[in-house]
């Protein structure tokens, strides 16, 4: 499997390690009234789609950037690769 790194181009998947669902970027507010409940869901509940899935990959033996990879879990086709930094900033995080 090849991952089309936004900065470095096509790289072998063996250079990367997989973390999991990209929704981990959306960490809940720990000061909110319902923090206990939202953190339970954040920590334990995952969608398990048969199809398109957005997930976090780490370019461990490369430039050590975090990526958000959109991958089809049925075909392994990768349709989109973004820097996780850009995704997080677009959602108002890491400012």
Partner 1 sequence: MHNLKPMTALGADTPQIDQFDGLEISERPDFALASLSIRLGRDVQCAEQAKAYLGFDLPEPGQGHLSDPFSCFWMGPVQWMISAPHDSHEDLAVALKQAVGDAGSISEQTDGWCRFDLSGPGLTAVLERLCNVDLASLASGDARRVRLEHLGCFVWCLKPAEAVAVLGPRSSAASLHHALVGAAKSAL
CA distance 56 to 68: 5
The DSSP secondary-structure symbol of 50 reads S
Q: Where are the beta strands (DSSP E) in 1-95?
A: 2-5, 9-12, 17-21, 52-58, 66-72, 78-83
| Interacting span for partner 1 (CB under 8 A) from 33-41, 49-57, 59-67, 74-82 | 59-67
| Interacting span for partner 1 (CB under 8 A) from 7-15, 26-34, 43-51, 68-76 | 7-15
* 91 near partner 1, judged by CB under 8 A: no
Nearest CA among 79, 28, 27, 87 for reference residue 56: 87
Site track 70-89 with partner 1 (rule: CB under 8 A), x = hit: -------------x-x----
* 2 near partner 1, judged by CB under 8 A: no
Which residues of this chain interact with partner 1, rule CB under 8 A?
Answer: 7-8, 12, 14-15, 60-65, 83, 85
């Amino acid at each position: 499997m090849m991952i089309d790194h936004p900065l470095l181009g096509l790289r072998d998947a063996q250079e990367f390690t997989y973390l999991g669902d990209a929704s981990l970027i959306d960490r809940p507010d720990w000061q909110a009234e319902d923090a206990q409940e939202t953190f339970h869901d954040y920590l334990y509940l995952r969608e398990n789609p048969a199809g398109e899935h957005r997930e976090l990959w780490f370019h461990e033996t490369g430039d050590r950037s975090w990526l958000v990879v959109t991958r089809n879990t049925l075909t392994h086709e990768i349709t989109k690769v973004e820097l996780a930094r850009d995704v997080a900033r677009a959602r108002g995080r890491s400012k």
